[in-house]
Structure 1
């Protein structure tokens, strides 16, 4: 039984949605606070926003399990990807508003962390690795879009209100300029756009982005105010109808992007 779903496409693009999962195993849920069981920090409705992507040829991978169980966009080494900034752990002990996830207010034990890595984290990342390898073998290159969303105001992580489209490329290291330029050509108005600001790309972007080996990774952190009633955690169809055409244009740009293939001479 897998802990994720994979829809295989017919193009060089893989879309990862690591924070969309909502399931919490009963044995873990029994240890959690009522607040945690609301899983408010989920990347809500991302699959609904990108529902067109499967039809136009993108591969899509998404987990079943909540980020409160294990965060698939963190490395198993526990290193904070944003030194000096606040961040939640691989197996989070607190929510975005700093309330405890567990009734005993403790962090997850190393033994339990290792268990969750084996059951949830490793299978997801093995599949990403294998899928990118298959795509690269077929097309000569692969692109992975790591799709996220977040509340527009989260004081724990940033001051004020977050811009609408937050692009991360590990400061340009995770993908080629061809990929970046394919996005920068798009007219995002009336939405605000920033590059490599508060969100420069998480573990998936930094780990898999390897343009010298023809694998390009880019992350989008979309403000939930662009498609949700944030205070109610509900989908706003009117707002979504306005942002979805831009998301589709964006995905099509990545689908049609053809980065120069790096050919390395045999040593």
Structure 2
């Protein structure tokens, strides 16, 4: 089975989706405990949420679950947020700090998963960035994420609805940041923050090189914005999603326009 899906478009915009997959091969599933098999830390329904928002985008989506290996973590194993609670390249716990494995992977198994899952996904993403940049002279990677609104193990209180990450301005221009935040300022009923708890994962930090005209940002959505419940079965709420999609569409269009400028 291919570990990623690519839908090609001709616009400069690429949507990355490293955490929407729920496929776990049988040999890995057999090593998870009952808690791990819930796959609770999925970016639920993100592919549906973004589907059709803007024309001619490219989408690169990981099919495998993040418990196999996290495609948004540094393959070296270095922490994205030193000194803060976070999950590792191959997560050993869920977002609440609870064990997910009966038999946790060793170093050799982690390396195998890097070669099997992590590397092919990023090779595909890199290829699409290069293709799009060749067409337009620039490329915009918008990394799509969602997470529960309340996770005391990772952050205090309730997460803002829109969490925009550019690694403190290193992965996108000020014009792109300003364009996104201007849209979010107009999103009545929603909260937002730039480079708060989520500043952009490894994907954003690795590919975002404004000086080379490759711009990257991460959008981490609180799942309360589009789910009926942030507990199983994590059902998609069509009415919530309809309202949210209006603002997400405006964000994507603003990002594309700002990058062209």
For structure 2, the 5+ residue unaligned runs are none
- Correspondence 1:33-112 to 2 at 5 A: 33-53=33-53, 56-104=55-103, 107-112=104-109
Q: Give SS of 1:174's match.
A: coil
C-alpha separation between the residues in 2 aligned to 1:15 and 1:211?
17
Which structure has the highest helix share of the two?
2
- What is the match of residue 123 of structure 2? 126
In the TM superposition, structure 1's runs of 4+ consecutive aligned residues that sit over 6 Å from their partners are none
The alignment's TM-score, normalised by the length of structure 2, stands at 0.95
For structure 1, the 5+ residue unaligned runs are 261-267
Q: Give SS of 1:117's match.
A: helix
How many residues get paired? Answer: 257
Shift in Å, 1:118: 0.5
1:97-146 deviation digits (Å, cap 9, x = unpaired)? 22211114xx4211001100111000111111111111111101100001
C-alpha separation between the residues in 2 aligned to 1:102 and 1:185?
43
- Correspondence 1:1-267 to 2 at 5 A: 1-53=1-53, 56-104=55-103, 107-186=104-183, 187-228=186-227, 229-232=229-232, 233-259=234-260
1:53-76 deviation digits (Å, cap 9, x = unpaired)? 4x6111001011000010000011
2:164·2:194 contact (CA, 8 Å) conserved in 1? Answer: yes
Shift in Å, 1:235: 1.1
Shift in Å, 1:258: 3.3
Pairwise CA RMSD of aligned residues? 1.2
1:21-57 deviation digits (Å, cap 9, x = unpaired)? 101000111111111111000000001100114x611
C-alpha separation between the residues in 2 aligned to 1:62 and 1:177?
27
The alignment's TM-score, normalised by the length of structure 1, stands at 0.93
1:214-253 deviation digits (Å, cap 9, x = unpaired)? 1000001000001112134111112111111111111122
C-alpha separation between the residues in 2 aligned to 1:192 and 1:236?
19
C-alpha separation between the residues in 2 aligned to 1:78 and 1:95?
17
Q: Give SS of 2:44's match.
A: coil
